[in-house]
């Protein structure tokens, strides 16, 4: 007896509120862009340049005392944040001390790091420093460029692949859905000021790959059903295709989320931003595969007979049923 999270045959009307869901997605994209441009991202040390010192102590973290101890060093912009994690014990008190790259220096010098550690030990003799990460401003600038190019190249390559495999309407739908996923993730990171670093870029690329996989699976079924049901309206074919792949979508997304939620709760603060980005991306990517990518194709229309040359793609069913 096989486990089924959804019935073998379903007939949910996914496109009943297609105008509302698509409109909500477009509004969410605009709001994410506004938040990103107005609030900005909380860049990690990878993109900002400088040094991050991780502290650990058996005593409670006193951010004010830490800041007062470092003030005589004249280090410029110093950020001190206490790290909370349910996996920490009662005697594990962790903080992150971020120091900007000093003028004229590629990174914070070892002497400066030693001075910071000595100053903090005056406040709390039990304090230890498990890790120290340094990135120069020149390197961080190159990392920003490389990150933007990596995401852009992935989107262009995917658009070209979908165009070759299906039609240009499908290509546009897939890329708009990917922009939707990436933009909403960035907007969420900006809104809650979650640390944005190279691990987050890796998470964004993972989201792009996962989302396009789900989209292509449904696109394949749409293409098969367009040939099989030549007289059925495009919206009904789309709806049928989503229903037929629903079990696969729920099983794939559900099992992935189980592992991600376990990592989110028990994985520790070091990987929390990365895991949170992928978790959010799985949810929004599954949503966009239906309510963004398929809506775009539904609005643009597509040809019915895939065995014939594409002379008027997008015009045969350019006016789908509402």
Same domain, 58 and 165: no
For residue 163, the surrounding DSSP H or E stretch is helix 137-165
Residue 316 has which token pair? 């045969």
pLDDT the model gives residue 73: 85
Same domain, 155 and 116: no
**Lowest mean per-residue pLDDT among 163-167, 249-253, 278-282, 297-301:** 163-167
The domain boundary, picked from 88, 112, 134, lies at: 134
| 306 is a domain residue | no
| 6 is a domain residue | no
| 71 is a domain residue | yes
Same domain, 209 and 81: no
For residue 320, give Cα distances in angstroms to 56, 192, 297, 300.
61, 39, 10, 9
Same domain, 175 and 204: yes
Same domain, 146 and 295: yes
| 203 is a domain residue | yes
The residues, ordered by sequence, that sit 6+ positions from 195 with a Cβ below 8 Å of its Cβ are 42, 43, 44, 273
**Lowest mean per-residue pLDDT among 9-13, 118-122, 209-213, 255-259:** 9-13
**What residues pair up with 57 in beta bridges, in sequence order?**
93
| 3 is a domain residue | no
Same domain, 275 and 208: yes
Same domain, 105 and 248: no
Strands 42-43 and 195-196 turn out to be parallel
The domain boundary, picked from 82, 102, 134, lies at: 134
| 167 is a domain residue | yes
Same domain, 157 and 238: yes
The domain boundary, picked from 87, 117, 134, lies at: 134
Q: Give the helix, strand, coil percentages of the chain, each rounded to 5.
A: 60, 10, 30
pLDDT digits (tens, 9 = 90+) for 22-73: 999 999 999 999 999 999 888 776 677 778 888 898 888 888 888 888 888 8
Q: What is the CATH number of the domain that holds 239?
A: 1.20.1640.10
User: Which residue from 218, 255, 261 is spatially nearest to 3, judged by alpha carbons?
Assistant: 255
Long-range CB contact pairs, 56-60, < 8 A, 24+: 56/92, 56/93, 56/94, 56/127, 56/128, 56/129, 56/130, 57/93, 57/124, 57/126, 57/127, 57/128, 58/91, 58/92, 58/93, 58/126, 59/93, 59/124, 59/126, 59/127, 60/93
| 243 is a domain residue | yes
Same domain, 170 and 267: yes
Same domain, 97 and 223: no
Length of the chain equals 322
* pLDDT level of residue 103 (50, 70, 90 thresholds): low
Same domain, 128 and 147: no
- Residue-range definition of the domain harbouring residue 167: 18-43+140-300
CA distance 106 to 129: 22
As a whole number of Å, the end-to-end CA separation of the chain is 40
Same domain, 184 and 291: yes
Domain count, the chain: 2
Q: Is the pTM value of this prediction over 0.75?
A: no
| 9 is a domain residue | no
């Amino acid at each position: 007896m096989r486990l089924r999270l959804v019935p073998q045959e379903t007939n949910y009307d996914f496109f009943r509120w297609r105008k509302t869901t698509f409109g909500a997605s477009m509004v969410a994209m605009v709001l994410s862009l506004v938040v990103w441009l107005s609030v900005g991202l909380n860049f990690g040390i990878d993109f900002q340049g400088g040094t991050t010192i991780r502290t650990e102590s058996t005593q409670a973290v006193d951010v004010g005392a830490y800041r007062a101890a470092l003030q005589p060093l004249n280090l410029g912009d110093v950020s001190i944040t206490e790290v909370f994690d349910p996996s920490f014990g009662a005697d594990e008190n962790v903080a992150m001390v971020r120091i900007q790259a000093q003028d004229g220096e590629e990174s914070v010098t070892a002497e400066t790091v030693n001075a910071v550690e000595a100053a903090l030990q005056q406040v709390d003799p039990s304090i230890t420093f498990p890790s120290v990460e340094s990135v120069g401003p020149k390197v961080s600038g190159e990392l920003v460029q490389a990150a933007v190019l990596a995401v852009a190249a992935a989107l262009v390559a995917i658009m070209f692949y979908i165009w070759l495999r299906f039609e240009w309407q499908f290509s546009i739908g897939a890329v708009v859905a990917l922009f939707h996923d990436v933009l909403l993730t960035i907007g969420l990171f900006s809104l809650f000021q979650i640390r944005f670093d190279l691990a987050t870029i890796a998470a964004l690329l993972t989201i792009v790959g996962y989302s396009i996989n789900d989209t292509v699976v449904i696109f394949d079924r749409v293409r098969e059903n367009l040939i099989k049901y030549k007289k059925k309206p495009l919206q009904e074919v789309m709806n049928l295709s989503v229903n037929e792949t629903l079990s696969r979508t729920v099983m794939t997304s559900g099992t992935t989320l189980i592992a991600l939620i376990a990592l989110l709760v028990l994985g520790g603060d070091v990987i929390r931003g990365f895991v949170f980005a992928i978790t959010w991306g799985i949810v929004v990517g599954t949503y966009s595969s239906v309510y963004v990518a398929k809506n775009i194709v539904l609005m643009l229309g597509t040809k019915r007979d895939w065995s014939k040359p594409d002379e008027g793609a997008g015009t045969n069913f350019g006016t789908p049923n509402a």
